[in-house]
Amino acid sequence: MAYRGNQSFRLSPVVILIIINLLVFVATLVSPKLVSLLWLWPANFLAQPWTIVTNLFVHGGFGHIIGNMVTLYFFGTYLSGLVGTGRFLAVYFGGGILGNILFLALAYTLGVDYFTPAVGASGAIFALGGALAVMRPRVRVFVFPIPAPLPLWVAVIGGFFILSFLPNIAWQAHLGGLVFGLVAGYFLRRRERYSITRNLGM
């Protein structure tokens, strides 16, 4: 697609992810039975292994998807600008999948949430937040309803503890995503510093 000036129009990967999430959300509203084919349900995972990815695009309500998509837009745009599309997507899906693996592992070993399905992009989004918390910890952000800006690392870690222990929340997915993001952020920050040093000829 092109617009005036012969410059190509391209959607960012963050916007594409948001569009896919919104389309899936609308599809599940129109056809509720679709949810059971996409959510991650430990009791039925072996029969539907694709759900370890597809559940990242399913949300449980308007508040759930709005909160996740707003956070995805800000965290995703920032991280993608720092590390590029490929690494952004690796952090996003890597964190989301690791969070799902932890959710399944605890379900199978401890019986935690064995018969409870998990949906949502929160694990993947916590991975983005974790990476940014390491790479840009002192950047100040506003978190509703707190009137004063907080350091990004405080917002991410505080958000994890507050959100993860609310009722009906898959905290395992949050934890797995956050840990993946923190580790990824460490290596991405080292790579960034190496690139700066090399460019300065040091």
- What per-residue confidence (pLDDT) applies to 200? 60
Structure confidence by residue, pLDDT tens digits, 110-128:
998 999 999 999 999 999 9
Domain boundaries, the chain: 2-199
- What per-residue confidence (pLDDT) applies to 3? 45
Within the chain, residue ranges assigned H as helices are 13-30, 35-38, 51-54, 62-83, 85-110, 122-135, 152-164, 171-199
Token pair 């700066």 is found at 196
Closest CA relative to residue 84, chosen from 92, 57, 5: 92
The whole-angstrom separation of Cα 192 and Cα 114 is: 41
The whole-angstrom separation of Cα 197 and Cα 202 is: 5
The CATH number assigned to the domain with range 2-199 reads 1.20.1540.10
pLDDT below 70 — which residues of the chain? 1-9, 194-202
The model's pTM: 0.91
CA angle 164, 112, 156 (to 5 degrees): 15
- What per-residue confidence (pLDDT) applies to 1? 45
Using an 8 Å Cβ cutoff, are 113 and 41 in contact?
no
Mean pLDDT of the chain: 91
